[in-house]
Structure 1
Amino acid sequence: MSAAELTSSELTSKEVQHVAKLSRLAIDSACVESMRSELTRILSHIAKLQALDTDGVEPMAHPMRLTNRLAADVPVDGMSIEEFLMNAPATEGRFLAVPKVLADGGGA
């Protein structure tokens, strides 16, 4: 579909229902008109973007030229089990105590 076609015509209700079906969306007839106007506005915006002269413009993956500044991957000693358990709110022996998530017998 050309930029002229996108701006000169509005979507029909039948086209909106077809797009919804392709998208696996269940929309009722009350939503069709709202979706029709939204999709028409979106397609109009796309038509404006397609009409821009982008000859000589270098494609980019991101609008900002940033590079990751990564720290060196150097192994360090972590906390001992005793230090870790000392900071825990509740323990049972050498384990963290947490509230139950599943009811009794709720195996995976």
Structure 2
Amino acid sequence: MAISREEVEHIAELAKLALTEEEKTLYAEQLSAILEYFRQLQEVDTSGIPPTATVLPIRNVFRPDEPGEPMSREELLRNAPAQADGCFQVQPILEFD
């Protein structure tokens, strides 16, 4: 399936790309080649292959969620850039008159 220059121009307009005439010609050829590869892939008989999401074995990479001792207030505030009265101090984002 060949992509026309008009289709390339339409796609470029949708993507808000400014293409030169040489780029339009190049991209029309490249996109046409990509679609040809997809056409070839559609001809492959995959009826005997079950659907799969991945070819790699699935394994859990997370550690078990086990309760632990809570951190003290001093530990939590140790790296705070600013604190006041045992709480994180942040710059106000809203000002009220």
Task: Tell me which residue corresponds to 1:59.
Answer: 51
Q: 1:92: which partner in 2?
A: 83
1:78 to 67, 70, 74: 70
1:89 to 1:69, Cα distance in 2 relative to 1, 3 A: closer
Among candidates 4, 16, 21, match of residue 26 of structure 1: 16
Which residue of 2 is the match for residue 40 of structure 1?
32
CA distance in 2 between counterparts of 1:17 and 1:91 reads 54
Q: Which runs of no fewer than 5 residues in structure 2 stay unpaired?
A: none
TM-score (norm 2): 0.66
Judge which range, 67-76 or 40-49, deviates more. 67-76
- Is 1:13 paired with 2:21? no
The answer to whether the 8 Å contact 2:77/2:83 transfers is no
Provide the TM-score with structure 1 as the length reference: 0.61
Tell me, in whole angstroms, the C-alpha distance in 1 between the residues paired with 2:40 and 2:12: 24
Is 2:49 the counterpart of 1:68?
no
- What's the RMSD between the two structures over aligned residues? 3.0
The CA deviation at 1:89 is: 5.7
Which sections of structure 1, spanning at least 5 residues, go unmatched? 1-5
Residue 20 of structure 1 and its aligned partner are, at CA, apart by 4.2
Cα distance in 1 for partners of 2:17, 2:37 equals 24
Distance apart, 1:82 and its partner CA: 0.9
Q: Which structure's relative contact order is higher, taking Cα pairs within 8 Å and 6+ residues apart?
A: 1
